[in-house]
A and B are shown apart, each in its own frame.
Chain A
Amino acid sequence: MKKAIILISLTILGVYLIDIFTGIGFGTQHFASGVKDAYLIGSKETLRVSNVVTSIVVNFRGFDTLGEVTVLFLASMALGGILYKKRHDVGERSVLFPSTRIVMSGAKLLFPSIVLLGAYVFIHGHLSPGGGFQGGTIIATGFLLMLITYRNYSVSHNRLSWVESLAGVLFISLGLAGYFVHDSFLANVFPEGKLNDLFSGGVIGIIYVAVGFKVAAELTGIIYTILHEKD
């Protein structure tokens, strides 16, 4: 009975949504192209950044990104609060089967190259697909590999919070520098350079590197906290 009511109401919702979206149409220009054109031309002419998504995330909508990074920080703090334990309760992780020698050597071999790939992705975020969020997650994946392979591999929480705070301070101070020089938060204070150059886009590349470090530290902290929850 309950399931029947839910199915009927979901069907009504689905028909309603399909009706809306067939009205919109697929693969055609259906919004006024003013915003899109402004972002594309602004990214090419004034900011000199090849990847338009990067220029939207870091510059045109940079304040949103600051809020997003703050939300991630709050999530990792809430996780620590929910799974809080007293110091002497923290024991060694319970591992049923220790990893074999092949997995251990493979992880040790792969870990530096994964971190290098993450660094490449966020340094070249304004030239090619990628950026701080992607590179940060790739680095967190590398730490995850080491954490689930080695029984007593540990990450220093102190060091993680230092990296995170310094990256956040760098982000905010670059934004404030833009405010004092050009009267607008996150305005560009460095020379723009040439399109498709590594040192182009002025402040955008530096901010994306800061975002990369911050995201990597936060996600590694989340995984470390939830993995050390003992049963």
Chain B
Amino acid sequence: MIYLILTFILLLLMIGAAIYAIWQKDLLYAVIASGIISLLLSIMFVLLQAPDVALTEAAIGVALTTIIFIIAIRNTVRFEDEHDKKIKKEKQLKSAEQ
């Protein structure tokens, strides 16, 4: 019974984190949310009696995947709609010149 309720809470948190990761415009926050999904997923694997898979997911999903996403963001841009902002700024500059 208590396992069932715990499972239900974990699943709800996981889906909430997934929706947040897709909805969020700031890519850094989205990547951290996807790391939280992996952490909850590894707890879920322990509850489903798969300790080997839980160890792998905890090491790869939480640490390594998150860090390479962060390195990619550092090498590119942080916001999803950076380009729109740039165009808006150029338009504002043009109108200010006129």
Query: What residues of chain A have their CB less than 8 Å away from a CB belonging to chain B?
Result: 51, 53-54, 121, 129-131, 133-134, 137-138, 140-141, 144, 148, 219, 222-223, 226-227, 229, 231
Say yes or no for B56: interface residue by CB 8 A criterion. yes
Besides A133-B56, A229-B75, 12 new A-B residue pairs in contact (Cβ under 8 A), listed by A number: A53-B52, A121-B55, A129-B52, A131-B52, A134-B52, A134-B56, A134-B59, A141-B64, A223-B64, A223-B67, A226-B72, A229-B71
Say yes or no for B19: interface residue by CB 8 A criterion. no
A137 lies within 8 A of B60 (CB): yes
CA distance A148 to B55 in the complex (A): 23
B59 lies within 8 A of A137 (CB): yes
Say yes or no for B68: interface residue by CB 8 A criterion. yes
The closest CB in chain B to the CB of A118 belongs to B59
Cβ < 8 Å to A, chain B residues 6-63: 51-52, 54-56, 59-60, 63
Q: Which of A130, A141, A222 contacts B52 (CB 8 A)?
A: A130
Closest approach, in angstroms, between the C-beta of B4 and any C-beta of chain A? 11
A137 lies within 8 A of B67 (CB): no
14 A-B residue pairs with Cβ-Cβ distance under 8 Å, sorted by A, are: A51-B52, A121-B55, A129-B52, A129-B54, A134-B56, A137-B60, A138-B59, A140-B64, A141-B59, A141-B64, A144-B67, A219-B64, A223-B67, A229-B75
A137 lies within 8 A of B75 (CB): no
A226 lies within 8 A of B71 (CB): yes
Cβ < 8 Å to A, chain B residues 50-94: 51-52, 54-56, 59-60, 63-64, 67-68, 71-72, 74-75
The DSSP consensus for interface residues of chain A is helix
Closest approach, in angstroms, between the C-beta of B5 and any C-beta of chain A? 16
Closest approach, in angstroms, between the C-beta of A142 and any C-beta of chain B? 10
CA distance A15 to B59 in the complex (A): 33
* Cβ contacts under 8 Å, A51 to chain B: 52
The closest CB in chain A to the CB of B68 belongs to A226
* Cβ contacts under 8 Å, B59 to chain A: 134, 137-138, 141
CA distance A60 to B55 in the complex (A): 21
CA distance A144 to B75 in the complex (A): 18
* Cβ contacts under 8 Å, A134 to chain B: 52, 55-56, 59
Answer whether A141 and B63 are a contact pair too, CB < 8 Å, given A133-B56, A134-B56: yes
* Cβ contacts under 8 Å, B55 to chain A: 121, 129-130, 134
Closest approach, in angstroms, between the C-beta of B75 and any C-beta of chain A? 5
The closest CB in chain A to the CB of B76 belongs to A231
* Cβ contacts under 8 Å, B67 to chain A: 144, 148, 223
The closest CB in chain A to the CB of B56 belongs to A134
* Cβ contacts under 8 Å, A121 to chain B: 55
Closest approach, in angstroms, between the C-beta of B38 and any C-beta of chain A? 13
The closest CB in chain B to the CB of A52 belongs to B52
Closest approach, in angstroms, between the C-beta of B56 and any C-beta of chain A? 5
The closest CB in chain A to the CB of B46 belongs to A129
From A133, A137, A222, name the one whose CB has the most chain B CB atoms within 10 angstroms.
A137
